[in-house]
Amino acid sequence: MKKLVTLALGATFALGAFAQAFPSKPITFVVPFAAGGPTDLVARQLAETMRKYIPNANIVVENAAGAGGTIGAAKVARAAPDGHTLLVWHIGMAATAGLYRKLPYKPLEDFEYVGMINDVPMTLLGSNKLNANTYRDFEAYIRTNGGKLNLAHAGLGSASHLCGLMWQHAVKLDKSMTTIAYRGTGPAMNDLIGGQVDVMCDQTTNTTSQIEGGRVKAFAVTTAKPLSKHPVLKDYPSLQEMGLKGFELTIWHGMYAPKGTPAPVLKTLNDALVKSLKDADFIKKQDELGAIVVTDGRMTPEGHKKYVADQITKLKTVIDAAGQYAD
Ligand code: MLT
């Protein structure tokens, strides 16, 4: 009996010690795109907020860009499953499952799902050099000049690529634009501002300040309805309103840990994430960028995973219709 009590006490102590042991070193948020872009921004705002809710946490952001986000995702799938290496990624987690014939990880099997972060509309943009000011002008201009123009995106499977693919398919251009892949829409935005590329579809988190500053032209938003309450984006039409029937694309971000991360660590991370999603300062910062912080069941690991599984099925239909794949 005495031995049993000792064992039980030992186990309790070990569990307590384990719980206290996380984090035992800096936590790294891996962003699978270049610094200065939309995913980087969300990850940095979240790191700053989550730090408040995980005692003794030092959270750093690492950019592991390339191949539309799949390089960074593979890095996290292979990392030690101890909660210190986490992936902050967006809709690409689901889109790449339909776009890539071969992926270096299995989206639904090689990760623990921590929870979803936000939903982010996109904006269709052009360089200030384009001879068009409204969506109607822009579409007419593209119909005539599309073959001569460049569309920037952040690699096959990125949100900007998916949006460009869907939009070009929906408007049925005779001549597709030449696509130019960047390591993220942070650097792509610099070239759009400089006029080295002509068109981009990007998340409002990256575009709002550039539109407000007049550095790029915005033509439309990708939500079903216009963002009528947003101070900067309220006057832009939705692509549906402009006649692209059923066009709707909203980007979401989520957090992932390597498969096998212990349940108590996942709980610590999810608790801190949920507290961050209710943090007034975080909500305000996201709101200013046009992003909507998640408040529903997708905040839970189960809800998040179910949503991604549904999105994989939904996006595969869209990608198959466009008929373009990555090798
Ligand atoms: C980024 O952070 O650069 C983006 O999320 C890229 C994209 O997916 O379009």
How far, in Å, is the centroid of ligand 1 from the Cα of 32?
8
Cα 18 to Cα 13: distance, rounded to the nearest angstrom: 8
303 domain-assigned: yes
How far, in Å, is the centroid of ligand 1 from the Cα of 6?
53
Looking at residue 160, what is its pLDDT?
Answer: 96
Nearest to 51 by CA among 29, 79, 36, 18: 29
238 domain-assigned: no
Tokens, residue 143: 């119909």
How far, in Å, is the centroid of ligand 1 from the Cα of 187?
10
Measured from the Cα of 158, ligand 1's closest atom is 8
How far, in Å, is the centroid of ligand 1 from the Cα of 323?
22
Looking at residue 20, what is its pLDDT?
Answer: 53
Cα 102 to Cα 98: distance, rounded to the nearest angstrom: 10
Dihedral sign computed on CA atoms, order 56, 111, 276, 265: negative
Q: Is 207 in the pocket of ligand 1 (CB under 6 A)?
A: no
Dihedral sign computed on CA atoms, order 84, 89, 93, 96: negative
Q: Is 186 in the pocket of ligand 1 (CB under 6 A)?
A: yes
Measured from the Cα of 34, ligand 1's closest atom is 3
Pocket perturbation via mutation, ligand 1, pick of 202, 289, 315 by most ligand atoms within 8 A of CB: 202
Cα dist from 60 to 43, 84, 86, 94, 274, whole Å: 9, 10, 10, 25, 19
Looking at residue 3, what is its pLDDT?
Answer: 46
State the burial class of residue 236 (Cβ atoms within 10 Å of its Cβ: 0-12, 13-18, 19+).
buried
3-class secondary structure, 91: coil
1 domain-assigned: no
Residue 188 lies in domain: 122-221
- Whether residues 20 and 116 share a domain: the answer is yes
In tens digits, what is the pLDDT along the chain, a chain of 327 residues?
Answer: 444 444 444 444 444 444 458 999 999 999 999 999 999 999 999 999 999 999 989 999 999 999 999 999 999 999 999 999 999 999 999 999 999 989 999 999 999 999 999 999 999 999 999 999 999 999 999 988 878 999 999 998 899 999 998 998 899 887 788 999 999 999 999 999 999 999 999 999 999 999 999 999 999 999 999 999 999 999 999 999 999 999 999 999 999 999 999 999 999 999 999 999 999 999 999 999 999 999 999 999 999 999 999 999 999 998 888 777 776
- Whether residues 93 and 139 share a domain: the answer is no
Tokens, residue 120: 């982010």
How far, in Å, is the centroid of ligand 1 from the Cα of 252?
11
- Whether residues 114 and 256 share a domain: the answer is yes
CB burial of 145-168 (b: ≥16 within 10 Å; e: otherwise) equals: ebeebbbbbbbbbbbbbbbbbbbb
Pocket perturbation via mutation, ligand 1, pick of 39, 70, 119, 162 by most ligand atoms within 8 A of CB: 39
How far, in Å, is the centroid of ligand 1 from the Cα of 55?
30
Q: Is 185 in the pocket of ligand 1 (CB under 6 A)?
A: yes
Looking at residue 313, what is its pLDDT?
Answer: 96
Number of domains in the chain: 2
- Whether residues 283 and 296 share a domain: the answer is yes
- Whether residues 296 and 150 share a domain: the answer is no
Looking at residue 327, what is its pLDDT?
Answer: 66
Q: From atom 3 of ligand 1, which residue's Cα is the shortest distance away?
A: 184
Cα dist from 71 to 65, 77, 325, whole Å: 7, 10, 17
State the burial class of residue 40 (Cβ atoms within 10 Å of its Cβ: 0-12, 13-18, 19+).
buried
How far, in Å, is the centroid of ligand 1 from the Cα of 13?
44
Sequence-separated (6 or more) residues with CB below 8 Å from residue 42: 88, 117, 118, 120, 205, 253, 286, 291
Q: Is 90 in the pocket of ligand 1 (CB under 6 A)?
A: yes
Q: From atom 2 of ligand 1, which residue's Cα is the shortest distance away?
A: 39
Q: Is 305 in the pocket of ligand 1 (CB under 6 A)?
A: no
pTM for the whole structure = 0.90
Give the end of a domain, one of 176, 200, 221.
221
Looking at residue 325, what is its pLDDT?
Answer: 77
**CATH number of the domain within which 97 lies:** 3.40.190.150
**CATH number of the domain within which 192 lies:** 3.40.190.10
Tokens 């939009």 belong to which residue?
167
